[in-house]
């Protein structure tokens, strides 16, 4: 069975090898936090993963719904991964939060935008008051979803990019995982773009360098798992095998089912704050976490 997942690390684990001529997968520890770097190198690797060639970084954190004691350390580690993916040139960064604020498992992107320090509109006087020589210009937007606006998200963002011409676009969205153990405790970053709605299995037109005219960094946290995938795992425990049996039980009449943790409200709240802090730290390295918290509060 081709299990449904947005996470490159899970796909790499299914393939087995850590190094090949088509892709590489390396694990390491940063400040005690597990960080995995998967790099897809060739068209064959793209076919194996079902993803474009490029870098995919996975940060494994304490479950967002369980603890906030390590949030500052986790934000710093995630910020370093963002810096690694950021293009070398300086300039305006557009931060986009994808998702539907009215649907909790899909609300990660808009909630992250609430915590982003937008600076594009600020002049030198603010920098003087903040006692900083320079702040990187940042713009932030949560464009909603097609069902709310009647406009494809890709159309909104493409028009905005054409108007303000960012040097880079950072996009945040909820993701889907193959394993329930990864829900709310994995952060994936990539420099290959993203398809809006992927976590909710409602893929729209991709957002990438080719469609937006600027480098794209995508970030996400898995908030849902495919019901059929979960069903196969449960049936295997019970000694029953077969995708068809799982689909009969967990996808009645062909309807797809998503599974999400019962602590999803807490998960989204804490994950969005940590991701926002990480993005702010990566884009405004001259500001401390305390200063950033003050400016966005």
- The 10s digit of each residue's pLDDT in 246-263 is 666 666 665 677 889 899
Q: What pLDDT is stored for residue 69 in this prediction?
A: 66
The whole-angstrom separation of Cα 107 and Cα 101 is: 4
What are the b/e assignments for 228-262, b being 16+ CB within 10 Å? bbbbbeebeeeeeeebeebbebbbeeeeeebbbbe
pLDDT of residue 155: 92
pTM, two decimal places: 0.88
Report the distance separating Cα 261 and Cα 263, nearest Å.
Answer: 5
Closest C-alpha to 132, from 286, 236, 7: 286
Query: In the beta sheet, which residues pair with residue 37?
Result: 26, 57
Closest CA to 198 of 106, 74, 281, 71: 106
Rounded Cα distance between 29 and 33, Å, is 5
Rounded to whole angstroms, the Cα distance separating 152 from 98 reads 12
The CA–CA distances, whole Å, from 71 to 56, 174, 197, 277 equal 22, 19, 27, 9
Question: Which residues of the chain carry a pLDDT beneath 70?
Answer: 1-3, 17-19, 67-69, 123-133, 196-204, 233-255
């Amino acid at each position: 069975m081709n299990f449904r997942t947005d996470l490159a690390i899970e796909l790499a684990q299914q393939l087995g090898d850590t190094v090949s001529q088509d892709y590489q997968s390396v694990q390491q520890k940063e400040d005690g936090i597990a960080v995995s770097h998967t790099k897809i190198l060739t068209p064959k690797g793209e076919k194996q993963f079902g993803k474009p060639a490029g870098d995919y970084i996975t940060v494994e954190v304490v479950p967002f719904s369980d603890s906030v004691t390590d949030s500052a350390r986790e934000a710093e580690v995630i910020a370093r991964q963002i810096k690694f993916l950021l293009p070398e040139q300086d300039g305006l960064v557009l931060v986009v939060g994808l998702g539907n604020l009215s649907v909790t498992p899909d609300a990660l992107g808009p909630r992250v935008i609430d915590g982003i320090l937008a600076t594009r509109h600020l002049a030198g006087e603010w920098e003087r008051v903040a006692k900083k020589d320079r702040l990187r210009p940042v713009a932030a937007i949560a464009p909603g979803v097609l069902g709310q606006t009647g406009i494809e998200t890709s159309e909104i963002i493409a028009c905005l990019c054409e108007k303000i011409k960012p040097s880079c676009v950072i996009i945040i969205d909820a993701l889907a995982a193959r394993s329930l153990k990864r829900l709310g405790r994995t952060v994936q970053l990539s420099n290959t773009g993203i398809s809006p709605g992927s976590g909710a299995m409602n893929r729209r037109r991709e957002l990438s360098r080719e469609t937006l005219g600027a480098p794209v960094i995508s970030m996400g946290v898995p908030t849902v798992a495919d019901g059929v995938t979960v069903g196969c795992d449960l049936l295997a425990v019970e000694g029953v095998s077969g995708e068809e049996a799982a689909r009969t039980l967990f996808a009645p009449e062909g309807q797809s089912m998503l599974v999400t943790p019962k602590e999803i409200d807490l998960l989204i709240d804490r994950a969005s704050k940590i991701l926002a802090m990480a993005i702010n730290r990566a884009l405004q390295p001259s500001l401390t976490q305390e200063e950033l918290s003050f400016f966005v509060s």
